[in-house]
Amino acid sequence: MMTTSKFKVATFSIALAMSAMAFQGCDSLTKTQKGAGIGAAAGGVLGAIIGKKAGNTAVGALIGAAVGGTAGGFIGKRMDKQAAEIQNAIPSAEVIREGEGIIVKFDSGILFDFDSANLKDPAKENIKTLAASLNQYPGTDIKVIGHTDNKGTEAYNMSLSERRAAAVKAYAVAQGVPSSRLITIGKGFSEPIADNSTDAGRAANRRVEIVIVANDQLKQEAKAQGK
């Protein structure tokens, strides 16, 4: 009964958000406009907009950090620029630009060998490039979220996901990103984005998501710009 009720609420929220978008022409909305338009309904369906590209923790971080309105548009414009630069500089990463933030997603196979939390040498170059972008855009907080597939025990996979997130943070800090900007989270196999019963699905679930959102200082700057 609870699941059905939640589905009905989610469906209604999606209908509200899509109806609002229809007046502007949904296809014509830029990511910045989506950032400016985030409110209770639109924020509530951001996960539906992203689809199965990222886990709930990453999507929740985008929603939780949103301010909306003119300030959201100011932040969104900045995020548009940074996201484009990251995608150009790190073609092996998947850059998801939605709302007022960015999710940079790495297949864990790009970063680590099997069952290892030691960054590969090419992975270090990727994190070094990403760190340079984070240093160039200092007004952000960053969450590094590790995920695994469901092979092995829950406890082991939780530990592995935490160690992998910590390894990414440590290397970013070594490249000059202040440790205070970075939070690591391990989710083990609790947030799959694909079917763990297939090889392809398990590969998609083994990933590290890096969420970039405006910090409090940038939010205040954005609000001041909108006055």
Q: What's the pLDDT band for 200 if we cut at 50, 70, 90?
A: very high
Q: Which residue has the higher pLDDT, 2 or 225?
A: 225
Q: Return the pLDDT at 24.
A: 40
Q: Say which amino acid occupies 158.
A: M
Q: What is the pLDDT of residue 52?
A: 78
CB atoms within 10 A of CB 159: 16
Domain of residue 62, CATH code: 3.30.1330.60
Q: Which residues pair with 211 in a beta bridge?
A: 103, 143
Buried b (16+ CB within 10 A) or exposed e, 197-206: eeeeebebbb
pTM flag (> 0.85): no
Range from 61-65, 162-166, 211-215 carrying the lowest mean pLDDT: 61-65
Number of domains observed in the structure of the chain: 1
Q: CA Rg, the chain, in Å?
A: 18
The pLDDT, as a whole number, for residue 219 is: 95
pLDDT digits (tens, 9 = 90+) for 123-134: 999 999 999 999
The Cβ of residue 196 has, within 10 Å, a number of other Cβ atoms equal to 15
3-state secondary structure of 214: strand
Find the angle CA(188)-CA(190)-CA(191) to the nearest 5 degrees: 105
Q: What is the pLDDT of residue 47?
A: 59
Tally Cβ neighbours within 10 Å of residue 185: 18
Q: What is the pLDDT of residues 112-166, one digit of tens each?
A: 998 999 999 999 999 999 999 999 999 999 999 999 999 999 999 999 999 999 9
Which helix (DSSP H) or strand (DSSP E) does residue 156 occupy? Answer: helix 154-174
Q: How many Cα atoms sit within 13 Å of 226 on the Cβ side?
A: 16
Q: Quote the domain boundaries for residue 13.
A: 2-225
Q: Is the CB of residue 58 less than 8 Å from the CB of residue 103?
A: yes
Backbone torsion region of residue 51, taken as left when φ is above 0, otherwise alpha when ψ lies between -120 and 50, otherwise beta: left
